[in-house]
Amino acid sequence: MSRPAHPHAMAPHTPGRTRTAPPQMPSTWWSAPRIRNYLLFDATGIVYYLISFLAIGMVQALARGPESWEAVMTRLRHPAYIAFHVLCLVSVVFVAVRFFSLFPKAQPKAIGPIKPPPGPVIHAMLYVVWLGITAIMTAILAGVIF
């Protein structure tokens, strides 16, 4: 049988420095711009969660038949759904812009002898690719291509 270990068995031999007061949040914490950005970024997850339920409902309506699909399409013309889709668009753009701003910071300093381009060039390339893909997808969905 084993016996319980001494409560201070893993303690250091000499006591370390301790804080004199418990840590406290600054009084401006909730109004700081970085905190607002973090909270907005977190709130986009709620928007994605809600849009996933809408997508699942649309797939179920598609499986039930044409009448059910037409009912869903009629319901989606309501101004509340349009406003929600605008909110989804704003959420996606916000997350994409935030991701693009972090992307140059995550690049290695060099890959072999080649150094990456400066941050503004990387930003420009990301936005050009994003706008190009958006234009192509819009043309496909509008029936211009294919």
14-34 tens-digit pLDDT: 767 766 666 666 667 777 778
142 with 123: CB under 8 angstroms?
Answer: no
For the chain, domain boundaries:
31-92, 103-146
What count of Cα atoms within 13 Å lies in the side-chain half-sphere of residue 101? 7
Fold of 31-92: 3 helical TM bundles of succinate and fumarate reductases (1.20.1300)
pLDDT digits (tens, 9 = 90+) for 95-130: 999 888 888 888 888 888 888 888 889 889 999 999
* φ, ψ (nearest 5 deg) of residue 22: -65, 150
